[in-house]
Structure 1
């Protein structure tokens, strides 16, 4: 095919210079047929037009514009080049042709590289050679629902995914049968229906949320002006799915009734786990934003360039910068994490795309892998085992719990008191896996004493939330112990303490996974008194043996006085040098691990003649020979 036979719109995408160099028959054939998986191999090189000509040509030529805005301007800013100087550019298709890599070199300049995702539209002749498709944006609802119904149909055949079944409705739901006339419905306990749940970030006050005063009026009609845009969009989605009922916390819970809130919040985990699908407004930061529209905070326009198909025809390819999608609001909110991972399937309205997620798959709604991002953590799949099976899933469940806990504690909470409440649904799920264990303020008793050795570098909250031995007592990311990396040795390890008692007081007796008002842990173990000292040379906090009568002990210390390392739970515990008690819990791999305690006033019912302590961190003594306890004591830790 000669250039005179080309479709005008494709030939017109680039200037004559680029058409006769990069997009010439010979150059493009070399570029395509020699595509490499290696990220280092260079395929085609060419010399650009002089800088002044590129500046002028970029107004019409898409490739000159790409070079100027993404590569050459950066070079021009870093060195002094005259207007008539050109650049040497290397091109290469990588990773099975889904990426186009451009390298640029100039005198005395470090190599600058830019990578693009290469897409084709379904109706373009290039689609037979370019597998990547563009994502479907949130505003394209008709295309979205067409693909969504296919995804749900496919989901019914997944081994890991739950069967779609009718279920009891939440206490209250929004009737979306007419999106222009929405009302609040008090559910019939005997009815079984499909319903949708909404997971979103409030981000601001909702003045028209349901209250004791307006609940009767809302049962007749909720005026459109009272419904925030995100909720309006969720109503539209529910209706387009062919479903009638939607659960939204602000309208389905009486927000000024403590008793109703306590009851309904305890049921939230059930509502999400039994819903037909959860709409996740991933890309919205405020309830007034809405999500069925372009979201300019991360809009990306493609650059369209010619594509010479190997069999002759000329089509086009669409290039996007290979970038990581933004971290969206719901991904860092504690409530949203629980809601999303408890849901059997989710429809995610991100800032850049619509995605579908279930226990089996996480994909853009049209199966494109473009800008997919990382998926949320999953609840473990409960595997059926026969009596003669040697598969023990307990370690897998334990690892899943630890990973979920770490992800959860990365998230933010508007109300600090919800630290345990917003994780309650996940805890309840795991109680089904561990029915013989007790759940106490975020910990499982069958994991003791290892579970007590959580680690963090957090901040103490302003109000009481949990006993000091619980991770919920501090704000910070909870990971596996800093002293026992990843997992405890299995075997050998030796428990050095006896758990005598572990009790908590619940704010609501009917909710064992919710708020606690106090807690007491009683252990019998060997102890050592010590002080801590920052070692500026080694840059860690050292524990120094404190013998009887050595309360004023100061550096320099003898070598035998060094015990091990202190890992403070929060920075405030390092502000004042003080005497501490080391309580041994576990011996593993030739070291002793335990809690660092200080005396405190009890906030649990403890006899007045008992010594009461609180946790301020962890310790390890890295050689068992250094552990020379002064006594064995029964310690009350609150």
Structure 2
């Protein structure tokens, strides 16, 4: 394969003026190029019982101002990037199937026009040693354009449908820039990324991982002073069981061990402070059934030994990493929890916070769909493109940098793990966030994160960790370099972070719906140390005035089996979020009701786990209102208008209920509170808000019982044109005490 065709070489070349521009770290704007690339892809959709996939053939290169050869290293890299970008955008497979009667294939031609190219600088802050840097050095090459589709005439209905979804849509490509660190150009432009090794466990990579972890132990206060330093004298800080990884060189197989016996074994005292925890995906029900597990009947067999070859590939890889890093023990849930013992599962799942936060290292198998996929495997001969740069002015006689494909936009880490099953699973959410250190294996590179910094395989530079990390593990929040003096401001920040984590967690999936609260109980137990107060099925009693006002991004579903009270976000499936305003500046909202009591009945041994029941006892004012669907509204939220005596008084976002246009339904509106707002907060910071309720047929303790069906905000237009919404509630509704379940 020729290195670069003349057109590619001219497109990627850097002259002296370009070098001056890119060398200056006080300029953050990109270095653009004018290009005109036209490609035609010939492909087809395969359709079988609504199981549709797209396949694209090798492209035909069409004339354009930028005449590429189609066969050099850059052209191959460009082609790979375009195909991946197009495949990522072909999402409406089922919609296509509805419109076609073809049973096998639908041909399609895709015209791609790329008209923008630029060398882009990284504007995010990096650090090198103890110095915080805003490098703004060359980071990537970015291309963009658009594409359109052409279908056969007898497929015209689908073509019309797709014209509103895929035709003339954006296509984006990004190529990461890297270089040998001893190359003169890398030093001149501060290109800090290096070539990737063929193996994640290469000698260089293992040396770096060990060095970075040693530096973390020595230099990072909040990584080195926590309970992972426990020894065999304090076995309670260890998981109940661990897997001793053995030694491949001596033929010693892994085996399950009971940690309460370690304190009696003098030979083990040195190692018991270090163990690895594994975060991975079991896979589908069928794949999980083939996963090696510990049960009552296999316990003694596991204690005697576990043949390495009987482990699924992900577990084999984890044991290999532990052996290579010379860490003697590893915790793997399928082997260290008795899988047919519900009591043991409750005990061990309630200890997840300790298991992952005390682990010396957590391995994240972020690639692969199941435990039967290797996370150490890398595609051989990954496409790259080398670019030569010569400048006598700057003494660059042998300058060279290279390009490799990465996912456009987004973070570097997300580029490596996007689309993986691991990032969609509920249990893995807290496993990563509770960990003291995370060694995450992506498609092409690994990342090492601790509680202080984030590192990537291909660079010595690093980034500082986000604020939510401190909220989980107890690190004091910092603002402008100074620790916040106000105790409430720290608690408010932790409450904000909790809401953010709950929002992110709601995007995750669970094999068993009942795990919704148990799968985040470890994080909740850590937050309880900062927030205090009682934990109520995903909410905190002292922050109910804010925590209650989650909303569903789209109408959600409630599981058939009871999981949480209707006022808890854990009662619904699908995505939830919290308003932009979050909490007030001070510790008090202007309350329009009184929370008399709030209780949940937990299920099992974990106080932060599953619940069997729960209620809020509230004294407040209820207004019977009529909910109507907002017509022809492009924005997804809010979806309903609330009317009292045929006048719109509020707007609401429903949880699970749906209304057709022209349809209406009667509910009860409980006026709740108004935030005083926080500095810089945006819309709704001063709007009174409340809970939209539906009356149940039952009563308890002589009180009317309701369920939450949504949240509402009093319309600003109503308050401006009429009496204030709060006054309306006070004039039209008497106070009453109710239960919300």
1:454–1:573 Cα change, 3 Å: farther
Taking the aligned partners of 2:609 and 2:280, their CA distance within structure 1 comes to 21
Paired residues for 1:101-500 under 5 Å: 115-130=174-189, 131-134=191-194, 136=196, 139-142=199-202, 143-156=204-217, 157-163=219-225, 165-167=229-231, 168=235, 169-179=238-248, 181-188=253-260, 191=263, 192-203=272-283, 204-207=287-290, 208-294=292-378, 300-308=382-390, 310-324=394-408, 325=415, 326-327=417-418, 328-367=420-459, 377-380=468-471, 381-383=474-476, 389-390=485-486, 392-435=489-532, 437-456=533-552, 457=554, 458-481=556-579, 485-488=581-584, 490=586, 493-500=589-596
- Check the 8 A contact 1:195/1:246 in 2, yes or no: yes
Aligned residues: 590
Deviation sequence 1:287-319 (CA, Å, 0-9, x none): 0001111158xx951112222253142243211
Q: Do residues 599 (structure 1) and 695 (structure 2) align?
A: yes
- 1:462 to partner: Cα distance: 2.0
Taking the aligned partners of 1:147 and 1:438, their CA distance within structure 2 comes to 44
What secondary structure does 2:363 align onto?
strand
What secondary structure does 1:188 align onto?
helix
- Check the 8 A contact 1:135/1:364 in 2, yes or no: no
Taking the aligned partners of 1:23 and 1:495, their CA distance within structure 2 comes to 62
Taking the aligned partners of 1:543 and 1:112, their CA distance within structure 2 comes to 42
- 1:137 to partner: Cα distance: 5.5
Taking the aligned partners of 1:447 and 1:197, their CA distance within structure 2 comes to 33
1:502–1:573 Cα change, 3 Å: farther
- Check the 8 A contact 1:47/1:89 in 2, yes or no: no
1:69–1:227 Cα change, 3 Å: closer
* Range with greater deviation from structure 2 (446-455 or 419-428): 446-455
1:342–1:538 Cα change, 3 Å: closer
1:53–1:478 Cα change, 3 Å: closer
What secondary structure does 1:619 align onto?
strand
What secondary structure does 1:280 align onto?
strand
Runs of at least 5 residues in structure 1 that lack an aligned partner in the other structure:
1-8, 81-86, 547-556
User: What TM-score does the superposition give when structure 2 sets the normalisation length?
Assistant: 0.71
- Check the 8 A contact 1:32/1:93 in 2, yes or no: no
Q: Which residue of 2 aligns with 1:519?
A: 614
Taking the aligned partners of 2:12 and 2:600, their CA distance within structure 1 comes to 72
Taking the aligned partners of 2:686 and 2:68, their CA distance within structure 1 comes to 71
What secondary structure does 1:212 align onto?
coil
- Check the 8 A contact 1:102/1:115 in 2, yes or no: yes
Q: Do residues 636 (structure 1) and 739 (structure 2) align?
A: yes
Taking the aligned partners of 1:351 and 1:580, their CA distance within structure 2 comes to 50
Q: Do residues 566 (structure 1) and 652 (structure 2) align?
A: yes
Taking the aligned partners of 1:528 and 1:14, their CA distance within structure 2 comes to 72
Q: Which residue of 2 aligns with 1:535?
A: 630
Q: Which residue of 2 aligns with 1:585?
A: 672
- 1:536 to partner: Cα distance: 1.7
Runs of at least 5 residues in structure 2 that lack an aligned partner in the other structure:
39-60, 87-108, 122-135, 147-167, 264-271, 409-414, 676-684, 716-724
Taking only aligned residues, the RMSD between alpha carbons, in angstroms, comes to 4.1
Taking the aligned partners of 1:442 and 1:531, their CA distance within structure 2 comes to 30
- Check the 8 A contact 1:137/1:294 in 2, yes or no: no
Q: Which residue of 2 aligns with 1:32?
A: 19
User: What TM-score does the superposition give when structure 1 sets the normalisation length?
Assistant: 0.81
Q: Do residues 13 (structure 1) and 75 (structure 2) align?
A: no
Taking the aligned partners of 1:190 and 1:70, their CA distance within structure 2 comes to 53
Q: Which residue of 2 aligns with 1:550?
A: none
Taking the aligned partners of 1:606 and 1:571, their CA distance within structure 2 comes to 25
Deviation sequence 1:470-521 (CA, Å, 0-9, x none): 111111323224xx7443464874111111221211111x321011011121
Taking the aligned partners of 2:169 and 2:666, their CA distance within structure 1 comes to 55
Taking the aligned partners of 1:294 and 1:190, their CA distance within structure 2 comes to 37
Q: Which residue of 1 aligns with 2:726?
A: 624
1:479–1:189 Cα change, 3 Å: farther
1:300–1:378 Cα change, 3 Å: farther
